[in-house]
Amino acid sequence: MVDRSAAGFVTLALVVVGLMGSSCRAKHSFLQQSFDELVLECAELLSIAPSKLSSLRTGVLRNDNDTKCLVRCVGVSGRFWNDYTGMRMDLLGLYFNAARGDTENVNRTQTCLDKLPSRAPQKDFCDLAFESFLCFYHNYGNLHRNRVFVPLDNLQLLHVTARCMEVHRITVEDLMSLTEDELDENLNVHCLVRCIGVQTGIYSDQYGVNLDLVYTQYGEGHDERKYKEDAQACLLKYAGTSCSPCRRAYNMLYKCFEHVRNVITEFELPDSDED
């Protein structure tokens, strides 16, 4: 049984866009939000009454449509819920702390989720999202107050890519005209890849690749242990292969993670489809 003394919904604060300091205090594009901030954001979007929020802050989850759709909205905004693929356990789990000594919380939660339908008709999306969340709420641990990295969606990733292309003076035509070998030798492309990594929070010159954030951003559908083991093996292969910050980032990100390559490829698609 999960202790609820530290659970529930804490006082809600303003949504803060994640900023990570560098020598020039660069503004990044990734977002960190607490569960409570997601609740506040969704309550405003769905016009949830303040009285309903008051009950939520005491940890009372009412079995009504407003609460169910609020929980679904939180899941969609936090990227841990999808109406068609269901709950992403690794992401929702980031908002919880397991009780000390509880080694069965994951299995207990999974058993609960397995009893739910894998899909639901559109009119029941809120119900399934709510029931899935309850599996976590009653079995996984206690909700905490910390902000958590929220994966960027595809449009946000394309926006980051477009911004980085503009910064490094690369056009879609440039990317489409380069062969794989030419990409490998093009300094502007190297800096483009580094820019995408820095802007999305998965890379820094000081610490290199943040595997936890890479998996959070791109790892859906992959076994976490194998994903990270394979990535680590590739990173070790390319670590220290260049003194250039851009080349080093390119070697590790572009060559080790197909999702980083795909972001650049997808950015070309709208123009290439017109040809």
Q: Give residue-wise pLDDT tens across range 48-87.
A: 988 788 777 777 788 899 999 999 999 999 999 999 989 9
Q: Which fold has domain 154-266?
A: Recoverin; domain 1 (1.10.238)
CATH class entry, domain 32-149: mainly alpha
Q: Where are the domains of the chain?
A: 32-149, 154-266
Q: Give CA–CA dist 39/33, Å, rounded.
A: 10
- pLDDT at 114 exceeding the cut of 60: yes
Residue type, 61: L
Q: What per-residue confidence (pLDDT) applies to 28?
A: 63
Q: Is 193 exposed, middle or buried (0-12, 13-18, 19+ CB in 10 A)?
A: buried
pLDDT tens for 164-197 read 999 999 998 888 888 888 888 999 999 999 999 9
The CB density around residue 73, as the number of other CB atoms within 10 Å, is 21
pLDDT tens for 243-255 read 899 999 999 999 9
The candidate with the shortest Cα–Cα distance to 236, out of 213, 252, 216, 260, is 252
Q: What per-residue confidence (pLDDT) applies to 267?
A: 58
- pLDDT at 228 exceeding the cut of 90: yes
- In this prediction, residues 97-116 reach a mean pLDDT of 94
Coil, strand or helix at 156: helix
- Token pair 């009412």 is found at 62
Q: What per-residue confidence (pLDDT) applies to 266?
A: 64
Q: Are 188 and 165 in contact (CB under 8 A)?
A: no
The answer to whether 32-149 and 154-266 have equal CATH topology is yes
Question: Rounded to the nearest 5°, which phi and psi values hold at 81?
Answer: -130, 135
Q: What per-residue confidence (pLDDT) applies to 159?
A: 92
Q: Both tokens of residue 206?
A: 């000081």
pLDDT band at 6 (very low <50, low <70, confident <90, very high): very low
Q: What per-residue confidence (pLDDT) applies to 145?
A: 87
Give, in order, the Cα–Cα distances in Å from 107 to each of 102, 136, 249: 11, 11, 38
Q: What per-residue confidence (pLDDT) applies to 62?
A: 86
Q: Give CA–CA dist 223/230, Å, rounded.
A: 11
